[in-house]
Amino acid sequence: MTSKIDSIIEDFELLDNWDDRYRYLIELGRTLPPFPEERRTEQSKVQGCASQVWLVSEARPDNDGPHLVFLGDSDAHIVRGLVAILLALYSGRPAHDIAATDPTSVFERIGLKEHLTPQRSNGLRSMVERIRAEARRVLADAVH
């Protein structure tokens, strides 16, 4: 079975020009589940993003350790698409996998890396670090 992130990568590889890829990125953002208004707090806001980005997680116990499920949203269409890609990559996975997964190769395969403004690249790094830090926190809590 192809994972959601593999399917997204394959879809990007089918698109030849960047206008189509940006439209697809925006479309991915539209597929995000609604983000609860009460979760739009300073605590859930990702620092380091020019746009407003909110990320929350829930740890769920599993046989191979806690898994994290993420919800996210942004007030910017392209950034919402980036959130959708990150959630496809990370959400529902074991915390130890999340902490160890660097998304660089995914963004290189999609070709996004060279098409993001420096500001969006910084925001993307901030989102990734937030997700991975959450995984490390859950792992540390599981040890105690």
Positions marked catalytic:
49
Taking a C-beta distance cutoff of 8 angstroms, is the pair 67, 144 a contact?
A: no
Distance CA 63, CA 47 (A): 33
SS3 call for 136: helix
Q: How far apart are the first and last CA of the chain?
A: 35
Distance CA 3, CA 37 (A): 29
Distance CA 32, CA 47 (A): 21
Neighbours of 56 (CB within 10 A): 17
Structure-token pair, residue 67: 């898994």
Taking a C-beta distance cutoff of 8 angstroms, is the pair 27, 81 a contact?
A: yes
